Chains A and B, each alone.
Chain A
Amino acid sequence: MKLSRRRLAGLAAAGLVARTEAAQAPQDTPNTDFAKAARDAIQRNSETLSKFDVPMATEPAFLFKP
């Protein structure tokens, strides 16, 4: 079968796209609820942080420089 240059370029591009998409395709199970998992992680972090005793005089670790 004889292919035109344009057709060859198109096929090459399609192959590249397919490989790229395969490489990028998330391999997670479709049923995983990542939104809920993210919210739950934030909640767990919040609870852990709130249990940690922080003296009232402790300032956050950033400085405002006028």
Chain B
Amino acid sequence: MTDDIFFGSVSELNARLRKKEFSTVELARAFAERLERVGPRYNALALPLTKVALKRAKAVDDDLKHERFRGALQGIPFGAKDLLSVAGQPTSWGAKPYATQVFDHTATVLDKLDKTGSVLIGKLAMVELAGGPGYRMASASLFGPGLNPWDVTRWSGGSSSGSGAAVAAGLVPFALGSETSGSILTPSAYCGITGLRPTYGLVSRHGAMALSWTMDKIGPMCRSVEDCGIVLQAIAGGDSKDPGSAGKSFYYTPQYARKLSELKVGFAPADVERVDPQARPAFEAAMRVIRESGVQLVEAALPDFPYGPVTSTIIACEGASVFEQLITNGKVHELADAKQIEGLKAGLEIPAKDYLRAMRIRSLIQKRFHELFADVDILVAPATYRIATKVTDPLDAAPPGTAAAPSGARGMNGLIPAGNLAGLPALCLPCGFSENMPVALQLVGPAFSENSLLALGREFQNRTGWHKRHPSVD
């Protein structure tokens, strides 16, 4: 087995397994060894599950031997953010107060992946409590700051820090992350991988830590759009154990996607003005590729709403309620980040009128997005407006996308909180480099439009190849 497996796509690895170039046990052992050896270098590994994984891999090999084929994920190792429970194993939520917590049930998404024959080889590090109401330093984690495989002096992003770093460094072929507001898109953009935030309710959250019942989503973080589609098909679907479940399935069917020439893609010229000057050429080139793909590019702008305050209020209220016991028994002070501690405590004091007002404004946001998507099919914007921050920099110093565009236009500034408030799917696509660090685009569409996003994303990756770049990992 050669080192090229570590950056192979799901489909490539599965094809090689079927051709018997190597066994599932050999593949799982190679990735598990690498994850255990290299993962700590990026503070990416929360819990190795090598022994359990090899046992599972042996069973998959038996299935393959008897030609019991279960699809493209059969035999593929993967990692999961440590907010997803695995029965009988520690699930820390990245936080010291929960470091020894063990559940007796496994998250629905992990059960679903198990049925496909994919092999969980480890839990991946995360920002404590998925970032709660906000944190100040990259070190806000039981595992230390997530370090970026492209430059270890920079952050891998949060809160799915380990998932981003592990996929980028070839420690797992794909990973599961979660997003309440930016936790899949940001680490995907910072680490140069492809990440998909599904529509709210499409993927079950049963067995996942709750931060915000009305905003939490679980999604794939992969090497390519194609892999995101394959993984999403496996994990999506109704689940009576998740009260937020939409009861819908997802089938990755790029062959039936709408023709790109029929798609209207909205963009805002002001976004380019807001991007870091050094990253502008990459975004401008990426926009040319989008245009050349045959879609109709039209100017658009986000509706004017106070996305930040609405998002903060909802997450702070719901998060404080979820973690009320942690706050009142004082164990909240065991968390690593002072801002997060005080933010959680203060969340208990937010008046009900503010929460309800935020949720009513959210209804208006949802309505305006319905209207916006009557005119355009997809929105495109920078995933972040600057490259990964330095690990030692305070994260609240200059939030990405807050610098005003010289023209004063809003553009798509605030698309991450806006998209999360409206429960919309988003796809993060690596689109180049600035200062030797990855930069990325995001595509956002109406609810349950994942196939359209994936179709345009796939065309973008066919025409570019940025997703195939990876950092050098010894």
| A residues lining the B interface (CB < 8 Å) | 20, 23-28, 32, 34-35, 37-39, 41-42, 44-46, 48-50, 52, 54, 58-62
Contact B345 A23 (CB under 8 A): no
Query: Which residue of chain A is the closest to B143 with respect to CB atoms?
Result: A23
Contact A35 B342 (CB under 8 A): yes
Interchain CA distance A39-B336 in the complex, whole Å: 20
Of A24, A35, A42, which is within 8 A of B336 by CB? A24
Contact B137 A61 (CB under 8 A): no
Query: Which residue of chain A is the closest to B306 with respect to CB atoms?
Result: A48
Please, which residues of chain A bring their CB within 8 A of the CB of B354? Answer: 42, 45-46, 49
Please, which residues of chain A bring their CB within 8 A of the CB of B316? Answer: 42
Interchain CA distance A42-B343 in the complex, whole Å: 9
Interchain CA distance A36-B145 in the complex, whole Å: 25
Stretch from B75-83, B84-92, B359-367, B410-418 that touches the partner: B359-367
Contact B309 A49 (CB under 8 A): yes
Please, which residues of chain B bring their CB within 8 A of the CB of A26? Answer: 136-137, 139-140, 336-338
Of B143, B305, B346, which is within 8 A of A42 by CB? B346
Interchain CA distance A25-B338 in the complex, whole Å: 10
User: B64 on the interface (CB 8 Å rule)?
Assistant: no
Please, which residues of chain B bring their CB within 8 A of the CB of A41? Answer: 312, 343, 346
Contact A28 B342 (CB under 8 A): no
Please, which residues of chain B bring their CB within 8 A of the CB of A49? Answer: 306, 309-310, 313, 354, 357-358, 361
User: B186 on the interface (CB 8 Å rule)?
Assistant: no
Contact A61 B144 (CB under 8 A): no
Contact B392 A59 (CB under 8 A): no
Contact B143 A52 (CB under 8 A): no
User: B470 on the interface (CB 8 Å rule)?
Assistant: no
Of A28, A45, A52, A60, which is within 8 A of B312 by CB? A45
Interchain CA distance A61-B362 in the complex, whole Å: 6
Interchain CA distance A55-B32 in the complex, whole Å: 55
Contact B345 A52 (CB under 8 A): no
Q: List 5 A-B contacts (CB under 8 A).
A: A24-B141, A46-B350, A46-B351, A58-B364, A60-B359
Q: Mark B313-350, 1 if CB is under 8 A from A, else 0.
A: 10010000000000000000000111101110111011
Please, which residues of chain B bring their CB within 8 A of the CB of A61? Answer: 214, 359-360, 362-363, 366
Please, which residues of chain B bring their CB within 8 A of the CB of A62? Answer: 214, 359
Contact B361 A38 (CB under 8 A): no
Contact B345 A35 (CB under 8 A): yes
Contact B364 A23 (CB under 8 A): no
Contact A37 B339 (CB under 8 A): yes
Contact B338 A24 (CB under 8 A): no
Q: Mark B63-101, 1 if CB is under 8 A from A, else 0.
A: 000000000000000000000000000000000100000
Query: Which residue of chain A is the closest to B351 with respect to CB atoms?
Result: A46
Query: Which residue of chain A is the closest to B393 with respect to CB atoms?
Result: A27
Contact B360 A28 (CB under 8 A): no
Contact A52 B361 (CB under 8 A): yes
Please, which residues of chain B bring their CB within 8 A of the CB of A46? Answer: 313, 350-351, 354
Q: Tell me, rounded to whole Å, the shortest Cβ–Cβ distance linking A17 to chain B.
A: 12
Please, which residues of chain A bring their CB within 8 A of the CB of B363? Answer: 58-61
Query: Which residue of chain A is the closest to B367 with respect to CB atoms?
Result: A58
Contact B360 A58 (CB under 8 A): yes
Q: Tell me, rounded to whole Å, the shortest Cβ–Cβ distance linking B248 to chain A.
A: 16
Please, which residues of chain A bring their CB within 8 A of the CB of B338? Answer: 26, 28, 32, 34
User: B152 on the interface (CB 8 Å rule)?
Assistant: no
Known contacts A24-B336, A26-B336, A46-B351; A54 and B137 CB within 8 A of each other: no
Interchain CA distance A45-B345 in the complex, whole Å: 16
Contact B359 A28 (CB under 8 A): no
Interchain CA distance A37-B136 in the complex, whole Å: 12
Interchain CA distance A23-B313 in the complex, whole Å: 30
Query: Which residue of chain A is the closest to B339 with respect to CB atoms?
Result: A34
Please, which residues of chain B bring their CB within 8 A of the CB of A28? Answer: 136-137, 338-339, 394
Q: Tell me, rounded to whole Å, the shortest Cβ–Cβ distance linking B375 to chain A.
A: 22
Please, which residues of chain A bring their CB within 8 A of the CB of B345? Answer: 35, 38
Closest A-B pairs by Cβ, 9 of them: A23-B144, A60-B359, A38-B346, A34-B342, A61-B362, A45-B309, A38-B342, A48-B309, A24-B336
Please, which residues of chain B bring their CB within 8 A of the CB of A38? Answer: 133, 339, 342-343, 345-346
Query: Which residue of chain B is the closest to A24 with respect to CB atoms?
Result: B336
Of B136, B346, B347, B364, which is within 8 A of A35 by CB? B346
Interchain CA distance A49-B359 in the complex, whole Å: 10
Known contacts A38-B342, A52-B306; A60 and B360 CB within 8 A of each other: yes
Of residues 417 to 466 in B, which have CB atoms within 8 Å of A's CB atoms?
A: none
Please, which residues of chain A bring their CB within 8 A of the CB of B362? Answer: 60-61
Q: Tell me, rounded to whole Å, the shortest Cβ–Cβ distance linking A46 to chain B.
A: 5
Contact B342 A54 (CB under 8 A): no
Query: Which residue of chain B is the closest to A28 with respect to CB atoms?
Result: B338
Interchain CA distance A37-B133 in the complex, whole Å: 13
Contact A23 B43 (CB under 8 A): yes
User: B356 on the interface (CB 8 Å rule)?
Assistant: yes
